[in-house]
Amino acid sequence: MSGPRIPVMIPRLGEEEAQAAAEAVRSGWVAQGPRVARFEREFAARVGAGHGVAVSSCTTALHLALVLLEIGPGDEVIVPSFSFIATANAVRYVGAEPVFADVDLATGNLTVATVDAVRTPRTRAVIAVHQGGVPFDVAALREAAAGWALPLVEDAACAAGATAYGRPVGAGATVAAWSFHPRKLLTTGEGGMLTVDDPEWAARLRRLREHGMNVSAADRHASAQPVLEAYLETAFNYRMTDIQAAIGLVQLGRLTELVAQRRALAARYHDLLAGIEGLVPVRDPAHGETNYQSFWVLVDPAYGVGRDEVLAELATAGVSARRGIMAAHLEPAYADVTPAPLPVTERLTRDSLILPLHHALTEADQDHVVGVLRKLAR
């Protein structure tokens, strides 16, 4: 077969999104405006938060969260290495030092024990990731962070539609950051969101994303009289456009359906993989339900074939799989960092892979994917 015929991911975009974007263009309001405000309200309500602040990406959301918390040079922020590199990079954006903690083998998430193992007197915050849409134990980590007097930033980039303790991921978070990249269930092309419960924090985040202005561009344009804005602090241009928000509103309406479909497909993967020794698929933790933004499989030594060989064989068979989630501390950008031992992180990033999972995946596709894996097993 000349090339992959089963993609690892396809965003769910259709005519409704196209029409919504076109209507935004026809309205003449294409920058941050009324659609962004509506998307913020509806997304915050969906995840159980008081306020949403739309931004240009989850990376900029994480940056603003740390600016809000006044993290800076000389401070340490505990993060997982087992995450997309943006999680650690955001710490460096504010001049602080990322300190890598290990993760749980089953969930790929930080735990109270792994955070506590690297905590020092210089620790000023923790960024915990709901990795691949698998919720971390929010009750345990939030309680521990409060006891340590450390703010807990929740990197929920992948987690829209996941739940923890029966509530949406994001509900009750001090501050959560979200991604709407095309790899996510809910996409605006690029884009992100911060959710908080504190109205004063929300107001400051809105200033920080828009050059520090004390009145938004939308409010200035809506006023019948001239508005002389002031710039209260050095800030950023991290705004979302109304075109993106128009797409996001349609996507938000699909979220429940998309999560249900992915969970059904994941359940079928679990059934198909059950008889293959040495392949350990990601599952729901005891405290919540994943949205299966990614369906990763740990390739255990009992399988008899290494992860990279599995990826090569899948590609030959027309299946576009991916290596597991990266480990930031192994990248050249962090060659100057000597972390504490991270054995679970290194095992997961070395021995896991991500299988295709998306709305267009058929049962025949799944049968083909698992058929290749079954044939490879030794």
| Catalytic site residue from 184, 207, 307, 358 | 184
What is the C-alpha to C-alpha distance for residues 314 and 321, in angstroms, rounded to an integer? 7
Return the amino acid letter for 214.
N
Distance of CA 33 to the CA centre of its chain: 25
How far from 36 is each of 11, 42, 56, 222, CA to CA, in Å? 21, 10, 11, 15
What is the C-alpha to C-alpha distance for residues 177 and 174, in angstroms, rounded to an integer? 10
CB 156 within 8 A of CB 170: yes
Q: Is residue 184 annotated as a catalytic residue, yes or no?
A: yes
Distance of CA 256 to the CA centre of its chain: 17
Which two tokens mark 140? 């345990």
Residues with catalytic roles: 184
